[in-house]
Structure 1
Amino acid sequence: MAAYAASSSLKNTIKHIQQSYRISLASPSSEILQPAYEAMSRLQKVLVQILVTSRLRIKVYPIQVVRLLNEEESKKLLGEKVFGERGFPFSLEKLGEKIAKKCEGLPLMIVTVAQLLSEEDKTTEYWTEVADIQHSSVFVDAYNQISEVLFPSYDYLPQYLKMVFLYLGAFPPYSDIEIHNLFHRLCAEGFLEPIEIQTSEDFMDSLGDFMDGEQTLEDFMAQCSAKLAYWYHLILLESNPESWFSKKEFRVHSCWQHLCKKEASEIKFLHVLESCDDVLRDQRRLCAHSNTLFAFKEVCDSITSDCASTVRSLLCLGAYHQYPVLIHDMDFKLLRVLDALKVRFYNVPHELLKLVCLKYLALTCNKELPISISNLFHLQFLIVHPHMHIKKRGFLSYMPMEIWDMQELQHVEVLGTDLPTPNFDATLGNVSSVIGVSAKSCTREILKRIPNLKELGILLELKPYEDDDDGSNSLIDFDYISEELCNLHILSYFVLNPNMKYEFVVPLSMFPSSLTRLELKGLGFAWRDMNHIGSLVPNLKDLRLEHYAFRGPKWDIESGCFLNLETLVIEDTDLVCWSP
């Protein structure tokens, strides 16, 4: 009976539509869109204008995406909503501009903030508080109101995208998010691991039509980001010109971040610490946008008593501190992710080396890694940056030999420190990326022991004295790199503080034909060498030449080079013109 009534209703609707000239369909989900498509297919011979509004991108018909407002438009809209057509008074104009900028171009946010401002005193003191304090009451109230409108868009997400999206709430507002770093964390969290009864190939197959061809999990992560941006409109790829151009970074609007943080905390998925009084019971992931919070004994005691047995991640994502921040009692036996790259340590803490379940470790420290780093035998991602790049004369820095015992490692990024040559038959078969090493880590003996390397980042620091050349900066004899690294996809070669009186000699055979991304900085090559390189890497899609990687006013690009290139970045150069 209900089916008959629905069919009858649809026929009546179609009959009514055929007598109309314009139709507006507001549809929040793909389930509701499908009946609309079926109805519209019956109207192909009827002269009718149809407008469909949806939270989702619609493939079937041409679409118009409503863009965010720019800063001038945002300021004008806020001023008119608070003060009418005359806009801001002179005394509040600059503050109004700062408040409008914090709305990040979202009209709904601007209108909501304007309504709340209209109900309060219009004094410079109050507006200064709203403009300068990140979590002012006006913005918190606005976020809470808007969350009710935004929540259905989150609720309609597939489960695998909900997990990724909620994790984005960990990042500070108004900041870009690097896709590769996000991917590494999600892998360490276990979100991208196949279940036990599946092989990795079965896991990729289970993702269905979303995967195109032969793709890696990192490709999948990039496509998740693209899907959230272009299909669901939940993240922003255009907020920063560099981010949009490189496709390496994106950001989440502060409205969405508020919803992510609130929902993630409620379901015990992730909690962003805001004060010493936060309730942390049974939270699985803790994040701080002010890294000093983890230094308060009250916070650490609360973590120990309320969630020490459940916490799996500590994320210090606030601003970097040049002075060390003490993190009390890291006695979390089941901790898997510790991201303390924005926290400076004088030494690698001994307590940290007892966290045997760690899979992701990132910190800043100038001291060498201790031998006991190998105690972290589950570690997959090792990231250590120096606080300062200090080069001692006649001193070479190496990772401990025990690094070769860490068979779970996938990503090694210990800047300014080299891999030692093993004196035994050891390999790192799971390592796919090595970043920040010198030419001493690129010997044939070492490279053949990392057979599945896909990304290599070479960092060259010029010695301050002419007689200091020990060969660690030379690649002239490295013509075997393409032979040993036939699966290499990404190669970067950076010269710190380049001296333009030097021209580095690099054998062309060190560029494998498998390369899809190449980054060069400070090498001072001649542009003719770029043509030779281009002929060797037919699959190159992303090329970045910075800090006088090449020199000369003219680049004559030879035909047949760079046929698949999608992204080209040239910065800090004396190039005047090029000709194809």
Structure 2
Amino acid sequence: MVFAVVAEYDDKSWTLFHDKVFGKGCCPPELEEVGKTIVRNCRGLPLAIVAISGLLAKSSRTVEYWKYVADNTNAALNMGEDRKIRISKLVQLWMAEGILKPMRYRSLEEIGEDNLKDLTDSEYEPIKLPVCFKLLSVLCIDGTYSHEEILRLVNMRCIHFETRLFRHLLNNLESLTLLWNLQTVTLAGTWSITPVNLPTEIWEMPQLRHLKKEDGDFYLPDPPSTNGKNGRGDIIVLKNRQTLYMIRNFRCTDEIVRRIPNLKKLGITRRRFSSGIGWEYYDNLAHLSNLESLYLDSVHNVPQNLCFPRSFKKLTLQNCQVPWEDLTSKGVNGILWKEGHFLELKSLRIEHSHVAEWIADSSHFPSLEKLELVNLTDLEEIPLGIGEIPTLGTISLTYCCDSANSSAEKIQEEQQSLGNYDLQLRIRGGARGFL
């Protein structure tokens, strides 16, 4: 999901700020001057004011904190030109700036998303969120960089490599492990088809929350061996680690799972010609009890006993192979669509698979909101019971066979006959057009 970023001017900036922060109350005299400084930094942008004031309304009302916000925020908008930013990235920027304050039993990501929800539910409609920070804690890199340059950024919390890098420029990734405050690292991609080797020290960065490669993948090394008497004494548990995406031939061993207990998003690519890399540890996925999103791209046969945690909300399967002659009630790609197993799954995407028969019903995905099928040229039909899922809002088919497209149309027609006109159907191309 994205929000557009637009520039708007409003002569009542202070009133807007005051009402959002204090409601019907009054601004304390000691905060008025610094508050007006914050408003001036928003350059008359009412949506920037809404964003900042929404955060301050829930934060400490001290002169010191407000001065910190004033010194580290500024409207950085391209006037007259709409821009878009993903919610997750905006929250990461807020985290990097230190605007979001920790709360017991809540992650910073959850706190940030709550603040965004407050904005979208506010009376100022339509809400289009601005990127309103001139961040000293965020670095966007679109060129070369050196070891020395990185070491000067000891307080950096968020680094985005915005353009593709040549492989020799990635030799300095080890330098990133010296940035102990680093929370987010994102690589746009590289001009190389081989994965990027991450340094072993990546397992010794307790503050790192998100590690993502948007195009291509990483090789994740095994954690360093432990020297404790029981073999576990020196393990660093990375409680903040939430994203690992994409990892080539991810080894889901007991030791790795113990180190990332709060992982929420995992992307895996599995390729052939990988000695010693098998599926033997993948039952451990079930022990990642906080995992919400899994992307699996595999050219190998997927084992039928693959187990997933019940916390799943989004599942993407691409190129996954399975012996379809054994496919009965086990469902797509040999995954066990057992009743009650995917209670929280909201998004299911299946790509480039040779599934022909799919047997499932609404009890298997009672919370599903979005179903995407891409290049399933052998799929005969979508189970009719899928349309009975009360939360289902969208079925999308891209380059699937005509019979599958027809079954989706039948599902929509049946739901409309029952008075459900909310189910949206999107069909693009057909198997013939794709071939």
For 1:132, the equivalent position in structure 2 comes to none
For 2:374, the equivalent position in structure 1 comes to 521
Is 2:400 aligned against 1:548? yes
Is 2:391 aligned against 1:407? no
Query: How far apart are 1:174 and its partner, in Å?
Result: 7.3
Distance 1:192 1:541, change over 3 A: farther
Check conservation: 2:415, 2:423, Cα contact below 8 A.
Answer: no
Query: How far apart are 1:436 and its partner, in Å?
Result: 2.2
- The amino acid that maps onto 1:521 is V
Check conservation: 1:409, 1:431, Cα contact below 8 A.
Answer: yes
Is 2:213 aligned against 1:357? no
Is 2:184 aligned against 1:337? yes
Per-residue CA shift, 1:132-156, capped at 9, x if unaligned? xxxxxxxxxxxxxx98853565345
Q: How does 1:499-510 map to 2 (within 5 A)?
A: 504-509=356-361
Identical counterparts, % of pairs: 16
- The amino acid that maps onto 1:231 is E
Check conservation: 2:357, 2:380, Cα contact below 8 A.
Answer: no
Check conservation: 1:540, 1:564, Cα contact below 8 A.
Answer: no
Check conservation: 2:16, 2:46, Cα contact below 8 A.
Answer: no
- The amino acid that maps onto 2:207 is C
For 1:570, the equivalent position in structure 2 comes to 427
SS of the aligned residue for 1:338 comes to strand
What is the aligned counterpart of 1:560 among 397, 415, 431?
Answer: 415
Higher RCO by CA contacts (8 Å cutoff, separation 6 or greater): 2
Runs of at least 5 residues in structure 2 that lack an aligned partner in the other structure = 1-9, 20-39, 57-68, 225-234, 272-277
- Greater Cα radius of gyration, structure 1 or 2: 1
Q: How does 1:287-366 map to 2 (within 5 A)?
A: 287-288=140-141, 290=142, 292-293=143-144, 295-297=145-147, 299-300=149-150, 304-305=151-152, 307-308=153-154, 310-316=155-161, 318-321=162-165, 323-326=167-170, 328=172, 329-330=175-176, 331-343=178-190, 346-363=196-213, 366=217
The 2-side partners of 1:458 and 1:232 are apart by 35
The 2-side partners of 1:149 and 1:492 are apart by 42
When normalised by structure 2's length, the TM-score is 0.62
The 2-side partners of 1:522 and 1:325 are apart by 36
Check conservation: 2:286, 2:307, Cα contact below 8 A.
Answer: no
For 1:178, the equivalent position in structure 2 comes to 86
Query: Across the two proteins, how many residue pairs are aligned to each other?
Result: 353
Check conservation: 1:531, 1:558, Cα contact below 8 A.
Answer: no
- The amino acid that maps onto 1:487 is E
- The amino acid that maps onto 1:362 is K
Query: How far apart are 1:407 and its partner, in Å?
Result: 0.8
Check conservation: 2:41, 2:74, Cα contact below 8 A.
Answer: no
Check conservation: 1:358, 1:376, Cα contact below 8 A.
Answer: no
Check conservation: 2:302, 2:320, Cα contact below 8 A.
Answer: no
When normalised by structure 1's length, the TM-score is 0.48
For 1:434, the equivalent position in structure 2 comes to 294
Distance 1:483 1:192, change over 3 A: farther
Check conservation: 2:264, 2:291, Cα contact below 8 A.
Answer: yes
Check conservation: 1:421, 1:446, Cα contact below 8 A.
Answer: no
Distance 1:486 1:355, change over 3 A: same
Check conservation: 1:479, 1:507, Cα contact below 8 A.
Answer: no
Distance 1:528 1:222, change over 3 A: farther
For 2:243, the equivalent position in structure 1 comes to 381
For 1:512, the equivalent position in structure 2 comes to 365
Distance 1:520 1:181, change over 3 A: farther
SS of the aligned residue for 1:159 comes to helix
Check conservation: 2:43, 2:75, Cα contact below 8 A.
Answer: no
Per-residue CA shift, 1:508-546, capped at 9, x if unaligned? 1484122112121122366753544213x2210233222
The 2-side partners of 1:34 and 1:354 are apart by 44
Shifted more, 337-346 versus 422-431: the winner is: 422-431
The 2-side partners of 1:549 and 1:376 are apart by 47
Check conservation: 2:293, 2:314, Cα contact below 8 A.
Answer: yes
SS of the aligned residue for 2:170 comes to coil
Is 2:305 aligned against 1:454? no
SS of the aligned residue for 2:386 comes to helix
Distance 1:169 1:370, change over 3 A: farther
Q: How does 1:207-356 map to 2 (within 5 A)?
A: 220=114, 223=117, 226=120, 231=125, 234-235=128-129, 260=132, 264-265=133-134, 270=135, 283-288=136-141, 290=142, 292-293=143-144, 295-297=145-147, 299-300=149-150, 304-305=151-152, 307-308=153-154, 310-316=155-161, 318-321=162-165, 323-326=167-170, 328=172, 329-330=175-176, 331-343=178-190, 346-356=196-206
Shifted more, 340-349 versus 420-429: the winner is: 420-429
Check conservation: 1:542, 1:567, Cα contact below 8 A.
Answer: yes
Per-residue CA shift, 1:331-352, capped at 9, x if unaligned? 1122222222435653113454
The 1-side partners of 2:325 and 2:93 are apart by 38
